[in-house]
Homo-oligomer: A and B are copies of this chain.
Amino acid sequence: MYNFRTDMADERNEFYKASNDLDKDISGIKTSQFIENKHIRRNTIDVLNKNAEKAIGKPIGKYVTFDLEDLRYADEDEIEESASIIAKELKKIVDEKMPESDGEVLVVGLGNQYVTPDSLGPKVISEIEITRHLKKYAPKYVVDGAKSVSAIAPGVLGTTGIETFEIVKGIVENIRPKLIIAIDSLASKSIKRISSTVQIGNTGIVPGGGVDNKRMELSEKTLGVPVVAIGVPMVVDLATITDECLNVLIGKLQDEAKSNEYLNHIKNQSNYDEIRNALVPDDFNMIVTPKEIDDLIENMKNIVSKSINYAL
């Protein structure tokens, strides 16, 4: 498998096609696009068979991506409208995975609340409208037939010493929800997508995609409960940027100097490791992020939490 360095299904699909000089999607990948409004585009990728799964390294399932333009500092109306659009799709996915309208949903906010670009999950959790305890202890405050919603931010291995998977599994076994919605920060290859894109997938999630090491996956296979994943890119890896930078330069050199065999060779092999060694100190986990990341996360927290609250 490629080292995609992105958690976004659509970026992986593009990368796969580019790497193999393909004009169109391979069999087993179905893509479609939709303009929601002047700010929001929706991109859907269906991974239909094992072949496609292997190509882009994403399990069979559906991946819906919302690209939000000029909404990094959205006003209240824009947040409402964006959340409604995303909620509609989220609700559809939730309903497919959990037909009973009054089922119990556990919302899981992945990531480390003390590391700014990794804090989206825990921050969203603090805005989710919790009803599970009301249904149990004060049912008169809950509308009949409403879903029962609980939420937890399990922290990360480095601060708890416990795998996220172990914590979630323990809770699932005790409270037996019918569906899990997991929120996480992701990595993208594109600076433009930072805090501007929301990906919803119906096949689970591997915690720590964005800024931490990969961990045991949360999915129906491992937990016995369907897992809907909501992810937002918050960082681009520094090595990704430098690699991209090299490709741009080499392309430029080739245009001028005409085909240069050595350049061609460098471009084809991945420069990733070489450059990482030259530029990125080993003992560091350098990320590229907007200076205003603290504000951007507040904004995205509002959009994502409202999307979930509306969908449930």
Contacts and interface: CB of A to CB of B under 8 A. Distances in A.
A225 interface: no
B161 A171 contact: no
A48 B287 CA distance: 38
A174 to B, nearest CB: 4
Contacts of A167: 152, 170-171, 174
Contacts of A166: 171, 174-175
A26 interface: no
Interface stretch (A15-23, A59-67, A85-93, A242-250): A242-250
Interface in A248-271: 248-249, 252-253, 256-257, 260, 262-263, 266, 271
A271 B151 CA distance: 40
A172 B171 CA distance: 10
A112 to B, nearest CB: 9
A284 B245 contact: no
B288 A161 contact: no
A308 B198 CA distance: 34
Interface string A173-196: 111000000000000000110000
A162 interface: yes
A192 B280 CA distance: 9
A294 B116 contact: yes
Q: How many copies, total?
A: 4
A292 interface: yes
A162 B171 contact: yes
A125, A130, A155, A160 interface centre (most CB from chain B within 10 Å): A160
A69 to B, nearest CB: 11
Q: Which of A114, A174, A248 has the most CB of B within 10 A?
A: A174
A287 B162 CA distance: 32
A115 B294 contact: yes
30 contacts: A114-B294, A115-B292, A115-B294, A115-B295, A117-B291, A118-B291, A125-B159, A131-B161, A134-B161, A148-B161, A149-B161, A151-B159, A151-B160, A151-B161, A152-B154, A152-B162, A166-B171, A166-B175, A170-B170, A170-B171, A191-B279, A191-B280, A211-B291, A238-B241, A241-B279, A248-B275, A253-B253, A286-B290, A287-B288, A287-B290
Top 10 closest pairs, chain A to chain B, by CB: A170-B170, A150-B161, A132-B161, A130-B161, A170-B174, A285-B291, A242-B245, A166-B174, A170-B171, A133-B161
